[in-house]
Structure formats: structure tokens, C-alpha cells
């Protein structure tokens, strides 16, 4: 099982914003926040097939995501904010009230 380090950025998506009105327990919302976007070349280098699951580990925890190809730079992954990303965040806010959510160094590995 190949494991590789990436820079992870989390953020809000338009679709996620629309679904929040339906509720965070809604299956479509859960699917949105449980999906990780990765460059196709990075997926190959880790041995991940589109639509398969990956485990992401930070220094604070780990979470499982469904991986899809997307337009992100090589070496970077993107995940919408949600319960899975909260498992990866530290508790430090640097006085902002919210943990740092950009530029995390994480390990990504396929789940077989």
C-alpha cells in the first residue's frame, strides 16, 4: 500500500452551501464533505482509482474520503469542510477562533 504526503486545503463549495439548508444529516451533504479531490497524476502515484476510498492522516487524526479526479495542482488535495476534516484539525486557532484549515501536510493512502 503506497503512502504519500500532500498539502491539503479545506474550504466551502457552492454545492455544499446549498445543501446546508437541507441539513448536515442529509446523504447528499455527507457525500459532498466526504469527497476528496486530487490531481489525476497524484492518484496514479498513490495507486488510487477514481471513486475509491482513501485514508488521510494529519498530525492530529485521520479520516476516510472518497477520492475523485479534479483540477487541483499536483501535490495538493482539496476537501470541503465537514465532520471528516474536523477529525484532521488541531485545536490551535492562533487567536482566530477557528483552527488552521489551509496548507496542512497530510499522508494519503488507498484503502483496499
Cell 457525500: give the residue: 31
pLDDT score of 39: 98
The answer for residues whose C-beta is within 8 angstroms of residue 52's C-beta and 6 or more apart is 66, 67, 110, 111
More confident call, 18 vs 53: 53
More confident residue, 7 or 18: 7
Asked whether the predicted pLDDT for residue 24 surpasses 60, the reply is: yes
For residue 60, give the CATH number of its domain.
Answer: 2.40.40.20
pTM as predicted: 0.83
Mean pLDDT taken over the chain: 85
User: CB-side exposure of 11: number of CA atoms within 13 Å?
Assistant: 9
Long-range contacts of 22-25 (CB under 8 A, 24+ apart): 24/82, 24/83
The three three-digit cell numbers of residue 68, written as one number: 475523485
Range of the domain at 14: 4-110
| pLDDT tens digits for range 48-98 | 999 999 999 999 999 999 999 999 999 999 999 888 988 888 666 566 666
Closest residue by Cα to residue 77 from 111, 41, 52, 47: 41
The total number of structural domains that make up the chain: 1
Amino acid at each position: 500500500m503506497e503512502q504519500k504526503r500532500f498539502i491539503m486545503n479545506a474550504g466551502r463549495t457552492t454545492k455544499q452551501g446549498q445543501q446546508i439548508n437541507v441539513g448536515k444529516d442529509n446523504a447528499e451533504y455527507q457525500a459532498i464533505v466526504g469527497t476528496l479531490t486530487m490531481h489525476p497524476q497524484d492518484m496514479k502515484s498513490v495507486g488510487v482509482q477514481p471513486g475509491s476510498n482513501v485514508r488521510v492522516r494529519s498530525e492530529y487524526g485521520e479520516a476516510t474520503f472518497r477520492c475523485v479526479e479534479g483540477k487541483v495542482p499536483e501535490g495538493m488535495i482539496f476537501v470541503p469542510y465537514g465532520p471528516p476534516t474536523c477529525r484532521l484539525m488541531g485545536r490551535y486557532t492562533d487567536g482566530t477562533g477557528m483552527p488552521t484549515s489551509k496548507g496542512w501536510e497530510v499522508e494519503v493512502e488507498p484503502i483496499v
